[in-house]
């Protein structure tokens, strides 16, 4: 991998990705498939590359957020079944049917509109979404909600191939267990009633996201498919590991652009929020908030250089940031700096940056901008 001319890059370990898939699949009961969640460009990792690896690892389905993401995968040659998880404009129906992409249906009106938009002779595969407590998209899990879902199931232009719900707090095992159990109870009850009244069985039933896989897979929550998103990329949604040994797939690295020297009392970067308390040597890194390094991390994060931690100082700029490398006097431009990832025995995780930024690891990964090249390695 030649990154000599690359200012900043995201290193994608395909070996770690395959390892994670194997770990997750081995933890599942026989007959349960893996739906690889590759929305948001596979959480910033590169959807086409990740989808290919997931297919080779035996994934049964892929999931995206919108039709554009699904069509990009088809144009890249991806053949696995794809589910659009989000709500889509009915005008997409003929295109989705043509490209064998399944669409989530979350309400009666949307189901009717999708069916009406299809060309004569077309059928669109759909997954029915039930709202069991997330409060976002989905047919209400009881009463009138099920009556409306049945109307959609009986539309001849639609081919129902799945039913699912989404857990709200499955990644919080200590505080969210009771609510997650209630959501699962509601889902099973709703699916049972729908199948009985419809007279058919859904081929695919799924509800376990990353938290569901981590903490509820041994309680029967896996059903026909699981949808681990963050776990696939080797990042845990919390501190608990749930018995899975996963490896981070992405590392974010940059190269020292310049080494500068400052006297005690000098200020650095916008707003002059940092003042040198001693004579100081700084490394200027060509990575900033336009690359995905959140400005709110200014003065809060450390980076790895030569396997050692060095503090970032001053305001993070659009394209650059500064790091105090006073303890490394022979540092020269061109040396590699790791924003998150492993360097020798040292490691900075996306979860660590997320905690310092007051957010979640999902946002750290997805924030890595398109101008940062993804470079795959084994």
**Active-site residue identified among 39, 129, 216, 233:** 39
pLDDT for res 2: 64
* Alpha carbon distance 99, 80 (integer Å): 11
Tokens of 297: 């991390």
pLDDT for res 237: 87
Give the up-direction half-sphere exposure of residue 72: CA atoms within 13 A in the CB hemisphere.
19
Q: Domain coordinates of the chain in residue numbers?
A: 14-233, 250-348
Ranges of the chain whose pLDDT falls below 70? 1-2
CATH of domain 14-233: 3.20.20.10
* Nearest Cα to Cα of residue 354 among 265, 248, 218: 248
**Active-site residue identified among 5, 221, 233, 270:** 270
Q: Which residues of 268-278 are buried (b: 16+ CB within 10 A; e: fewer)?
A: bbeeeebebee
Which residue is associated with the tokens 């979640």?
Answer: 360
Whether 250-348 and 14-233 are alike in CATH topology: the answer is no
pLDDT for res 329: 79
* Alpha carbon distance 214, 231 (integer Å): 9
- DSSP letter for each residue of 270-313: GGG-EE-SSSEEEEEES--GGGT--GGGTTT-EEEETTEEEEEE
221 included as an active-site residue:
no
pLDDT for res 18: 97
The total of other beta-carbon atoms located within 10 Å of residue 133's CB is 20
pLDDT for res 275: 98
* Nearest Cα to Cα of residue 161 among 209, 197, 200: 200
pLDDT for res 241: 85
270 included as an active-site residue:
yes
Residue 291's contacts (CB-CB under 8 Å, 6 or more residues apart) are 8, 319, 368, 369, 371, 372
* Alpha carbon distance 123, 178 (integer Å): 39
pLDDT for res 238: 83
pLDDT for res 1: 53
- Indicate the SS3 state at residue 359: coil
CATH of domain 250-348: 2.40.37.10
């Amino acid at each position: 991998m030649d990154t000599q001319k690359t200012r900043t890059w995201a290193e994608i370990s395909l070996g770690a990705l395959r390892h994670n898939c194997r770990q997750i699949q081995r933890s599942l009961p026989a007959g349960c498939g893996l739906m690889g969640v590759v929305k948001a460009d596979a959480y910033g990792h590169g959807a086409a590359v990740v989808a290919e690896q997931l297919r080779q690892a035996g994934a049964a389905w892929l999931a995206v957020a919108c039709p554009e993401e699904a069509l990009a995968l088809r144009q890249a040659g991806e053949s696995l079944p794809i589910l659009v998880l989000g709500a889509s404009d009915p005008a997409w129906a003929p295109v989705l049917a043509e490209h064998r992409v399944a669409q989530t249906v979350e309400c009666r009106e949307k189901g009717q509109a999708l069916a009406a938009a299809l060309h004569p002779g077309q059928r669109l595969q759909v997954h029915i979404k039930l709202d069991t407590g997330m409060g976002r998209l989905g047919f209400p899990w009881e009463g009138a909600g099920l009556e409306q879902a049945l109307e959609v199931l009986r539309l001849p232009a639609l081919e129902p191939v799945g039913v699912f719900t989404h857990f709200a707090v499955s990644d919080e095992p200590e505080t969210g267990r009771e609510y997650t159990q209630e959501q699962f109870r509601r889902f099973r009850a709703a699916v049972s009633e729908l199948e009985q009244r419809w007279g058919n069985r859904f081929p695919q039933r799924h509800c376990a996201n990353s938290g569901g896989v981590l903490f509820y897979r041994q309680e029967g929550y896996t059903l026909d498919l699981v949808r681990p998103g963050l776990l696939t990329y080797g990042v845990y949604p919390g501190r608990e590991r749930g018995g899975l040994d996963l490896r981070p797939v992405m590392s974010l690295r940059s190269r020292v652009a310049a080494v500068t020297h400052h006297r005690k009392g000098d200020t650095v970067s916008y707003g002059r929020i940092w003042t040198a308390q001693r004579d100081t040597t700084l490394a200027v890194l060509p990575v900033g908030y336009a690359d995905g390094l959140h400005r709110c991390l200014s003065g809060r994060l450390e980076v790895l250089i030569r396997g050692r931690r060095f503090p970032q100082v001053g305001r993070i700029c659009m394209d650059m940031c500064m790091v105090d490398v006073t303890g490394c006097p022979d540092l020269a431009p061109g040396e590699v700096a790791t924003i998150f990832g492993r360097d020798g025995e040292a490691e900075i995780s996306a979860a660590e940056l997320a905690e310092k930024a007051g957010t979640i690891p999902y946002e750290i990964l997805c924030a890595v901008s398109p101008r940062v090249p993804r470079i795959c390695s084994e």
